[in-house]
Amino acid sequence: MVKCYWINQDVQAKFSGYPTGYRLGYTNEGPIEDSHYLPKDAPREGMEGYEKRFQFDNGGLYSREVWEKPSRLTDATKAWLQSLWVRIKADDKPIPYAGDWGAFPMDLTVVSEEIKTIFEELGREAGETLFDFFPVQKYWNDTVQKTVPGGPYFYCCLVARHDAWDYENTKFKRATERPEGAIIQRPFGTGQKLASHCAGKTIWRDKRSGNVYCTDAFTSRLPKGMRGMYLMDVKVTNDLN
């Protein structure tokens, strides 16, 4: 039977000596003040209306359309992201993956060319667009204070949306309704999925909780020993019999 996993960024920091996540270089009006992480020659640009900068082809960051339907970042948003520094906390080695999905901003991570190729192949085999890729222009390692080796690296934005919940066996927390339209309701614990709704799927952002889930069809294709991604098992109800 199909296996399902929650890609959980909350425990990402447990990986020692490898990315505890990435952060985009910015100053001033960002949600946290972290200008000291920037390379000395990094641009000191303000960041007014952080959430409003993330625009998709079908709406804003927390619109109902973006939350529930496949969504791609606009060209203007991509250009803005490419003007920023991606900063990694890691050892001085090339990175295959720097997480994390499910964190703000939604579904955005950084991958190597090798991982990009694997993800593109998965999408072709699944017959759907799973990710949208565009090049990272500037990246920096906070730990060793120099540019990250390897590359090229790519922003990887998760496009796919899906709902696979076993509603009879999953309890949810109280729903939060965003002014922009999204209704967010996360499960207690990991929740439970239906095998019939996971079959044939690889990776998706959940329409109800916003969490990112994947199946063994996705994890089986990742390079052996790949670090930087934490998976939590999700119970699956066998409703295929």
Contact of 147 with 223, CB cutoff 8 Å: no
Q: How far apart are CA 9 and CA 147, in angstroms?
A: 24
Q: Whole domain around residue 114: which residue ranges?
A: 4-237
Question: CA dist 8 to 1, 33, 113, 233, Å?
Answer: 22, 25, 23, 10
- What's the pTM value of the predicted model, to 2 decimals? 0.81
pLDDT given at position 46? 39
Question: 164 in helix, strand or coil?
Answer: coil
Tokens of 167: 């509603």
pLDDT given at position 197? 96
Residue 103 neighbours by CB distance under 10 Å: 17
Phi and psi, residue 131, nearest 5°: -135, 160
pLDDT of the chain, 241 residues: tens digit per residue: 899 999 865 433 333 333 334 443 333 232 333 433 344 444 444 344 556 778 999 998 889 999 999 999 999 989 888 877 776 666 666 766 665 565 445 567 778 888 899 999 999 999 999 999 999 887 777 677 777 777 888 888 999 999 999 999 999 999 999 888 999 999 998 899 999 999 999 999 999 998 899 999 998 998 876 665 778 899 999 998 7
Tokens of 49: 């209306």
Which residue is it, tokens 């796919």?
A: 160
| Of 94, 110, 194, 109, nearest in space to 147 by CA | 94
Which residue is it, tokens 């529930």?
A: 68
| Of 185, 155, 138, 135, nearest in space to 54 by CA | 155
pLDDT given at position 101? 60
117: Cβ–Cβ under 8 A, 6 or more apart, which residues? none
pLDDT given at position 226? 66
Quote the number of domains for the chain.
1
Question: 143 in helix, strand or coil?
Answer: coil
pLDDT given at position 14? 33
Amino acid identity of 50? Y
pLDDT given at position 50? 59
pLDDT given at position 106? 59
